[in-house]
Amino acid sequence: MAASRGDGETIRVATRPSPQARTQAQAVADAISATTSRRCELIFVESTGDVRAEVPLHLMAGQGIFVKEVQRAVLDGRADVAVHSAKDLPTEGDPGLVVGAWCARRDPRDALVGARLTELADGATVATGSARRRAQLRAVRPDLSFAELRGNIGTRLERIPDRGAIVMAAAALEILGLTDRIAELLDATVFVPMVGQGCVAVEHRFGDGAVREALMAIDDAATRRAIETERAFLAVLGSGCSLPVGAHVDESGTITTFLAEADAPKARSVVMQADVTDPDTARLVAAELARVSRRELAGR
């Protein structure tokens, strides 16, 4: 039986069922309703990343593990839009889908919960499932030990190591009203965030003009320019890149990029910066930074 295409008036919003995903999807739905007067309905879809919660994130990197099933709900007609954390969205998109809105970015920085970096004792444990975060923390504090961290936000907050800390995206805590748990916000020029961190992306089916028009009202132009520039850096490395990687365009129009060797105690890394205020060349500049970073890391 063919999937229902809806009543034509209600916009069905596909999202993962976690508290963070549900909350950011509801914010998107409320914004759409406020600007178009159209009713929105949330459709919950479990992702591979949710089902395989026991597998460390870095072992599943680059596979779109949190987005594929949500995208499929739109492609097969169960939903009209798919809402994702932009950092989870592969650079090689599905040809049947278009990003209709990059929502205004929240705080893109990483945050320590439990203790500030300078407060952590020698050899203290920091829990994170991110190879990028481990590489960046090791560069500043090579004495630290690391533990895996998976689960929704509430679960992670319950797993702060004794006398240690966990690392999370500040935006995730902001979405859930938990910023009071932040011990320290990390400098984005040193602890370079993941591409797209802090932004919510909304996809729709290619050719769906009515939904495209609805999403235009919640698309943030400045965020779109920044995210698309960051994604140009990642695109050169490849969506399947399993190396620790990050890129961030700040409000001044400076992009900071990070690329490191595979997760290891003495992994080398490359941090580069460039001016991307010219929208006509921003993506080209970001792409060139990726090529140069890759050569530097390879020692060529």
Please write the tens of the pLDDT for every residue from 145-200: 999 998 889 999 999 999 999 999 999 999 999 999 999 999 999 999 999 999 99
Give percent of the chain above pLDDT 90. 83
In the set 12, 16, 87, 138, the catalytic residue is 87
Give the containing element (helix H, strand E) for 124: none
Contact criterion met (CB below 8 Å) for 290 and 270: no
pLDDT bracket for residue 16 (50, 70, 90): very high
For the question of residue 280 being annotated catalytic, the response is no
In the set 72, 241, 250, 294, the catalytic residue is 241
Measured distance CA(125)–CA(136) in Å, rounded: 15
Closest CA to 84 of 76, 97, 96: 97
Mean residue pLDDT across the chain: 91
In the set 88, 94, 107, 263, the catalytic residue is 88
In the set 133, 134, 224, 225, the catalytic residue is 133
In the set 109, 156, 205, 283, the catalytic residue is 156
Measured distance CA(174)–CA(177) in Å, rounded: 5
Residue 178 token pair: 């938990």
For the question of residue 52 being annotated catalytic, the response is no
Contacts of 200 (CB under 8 A, 6+ apart): 24, 27, 28, 83, 84, 85, 86, 102, 103
For the question of residue 87 being annotated catalytic, the response is yes
In CATH, what number does 11-103+198-219 get? 3.40.190.10
Residue identified by tokens 């034509």 is 8
For the question of residue 72 being annotated catalytic, the response is no
In the set 12, 105, 132, 205, the catalytic residue is 132
Long-range contacts, stretch 150-158, CB < 8 angstroms, 24+ apart: 150/53, 150/54, 150/55, 150/56, 150/57, 151/53, 152/18, 152/19, 152/20, 153/18, 153/19, 153/20, 153/178, 154/19, 156/127, 157/113, 157/181
For the question of residue 103 being annotated catalytic, the response is no
For the question of residue 199 being annotated catalytic, the response is no
Q: What are the extents of the domains in the chain? A: 11-103+198-219, 110-185, 231-298
Residue 132 pLDDT > 60, yes or no? yes
Residue 207 token pair: 């050719």
In the set 52, 72, 78, 150, the catalytic residue is 150
For the question of residue 141 being annotated catalytic, the response is no
Specify the CATH class of 231-298 in words.
alpha beta
pTM over 0.85: yes
pLDDT bracket for residue 7 (50, 70, 90): low
Q: How many CB atoms lie within 10 A of CB 49?
A: 21
Give the model confidence (pLDDT) of 51-82 as tens digits.
444 444 444 455 577 799 999 999 999 999 99
pLDDT at 1: 29
Q: Rg of the chain over CA atoms, in angstroms? A: 19
**One fold for both 11-103+198-219 and 110-185?**
yes
Strands lying side by side in the sheet with 11-15? 40-44, 11-15, 81-85, 200-205, 97-102
Q: Which CATH superfamily is domain 110-185 in?
A: Periplasmic binding protein-like II (3.40.190.10)
